[in-house]
Amino acid sequence: MAIRIIVKEPDPVLREKAKPVPKITPNIHKLLDDMADTMYDAEGVGLAAPQIGILKRVIVVDVGDDNGLIEMINPEIVSAEGEQLGPEGCLSIPGLRGDVNRSLTITIKGLDRNGDELVITASEFLARAFQHEVDHLNGVLFTDLAKSVYREEERQKKGEE
């Protein structure tokens, strides 16, 4: 287990498309462990492998709900409905926030660390986190989609948090 360096924008690795994981090896387990360590150390709610410079389709999410840590390999959003507009940030774009329109409810399918199929239906903030992380696997950042982007401290000055 180790904390890895989080790649920041404008590093071009963040714009690459990540490759599917063909086989779950001990290296993938180490990657998942390191991604969780790195996410928690940075106080994030999600992390995608490209954010530590690894172009593999692997994400971790923990939004602080009862699900705890969710690890997913080769995630794919298989259905989406509704809409939500809300603020997002990204560990690769420190200090910036933006209001992003996302699906309200999604079903996401992938593999867990044992190679078993994992299917999760999520709404609201968890759904938002999954959509944000899957975007990272396709080289998409929230700033590409945001209706408005603002510096975190400006927002705090206005007392909006």
What count of residues does the chain have?
161
CB of 65 to Ni ion, least distance (A): 18
- Does residue 54 belong to the site contacting Ni ion (CB under 5 A)? no
| C-alpha–C-alpha distance, residues 56 and 73, integer Å | 9
Closest alpha carbon to 23 in 91, 111, 128 = 111
Is 133 a residue of the active site?
yes
For the beta sheet containing 105-111, the strands, ordered from the edge strand earlier in sequence to the opposite edge, are 46-48, 58-61, 70-81, 105-111, 117-123
- Does residue 106 belong to the site contacting Ni ion (CB under 5 A)? no
What residues form the annotated binding site for Fe cation?
90, 132, 136
Q: Which two tokens stand for residue 108?
A: 């996401």
Return the residue of 90, 100, 108, 137 that touches Ni ion, per CB under 5 A: 90
For the beta sheet containing 148-151, the strands, ordered from the edge strand earlier in sequence to the opposite edge, are 84-88, 96-102, 148-151
Q: Which is nearer to Ni ion, 49 or 90 (CB)?
A: 90
From 71, 88, 133, 152, the catalytic residue: 133
- Does residue 122 belong to the site contacting Ni ion (CB under 5 A)? no
CB of 130 to Ni ion, least distance (A): 12
Q: How many binding residues for Ni ion (CB under 5 A)?
A: 1
What residues act catalytically? Answer: 133
Which residues of the chain form contacts with Ni ion (CB under 5 A)?
90
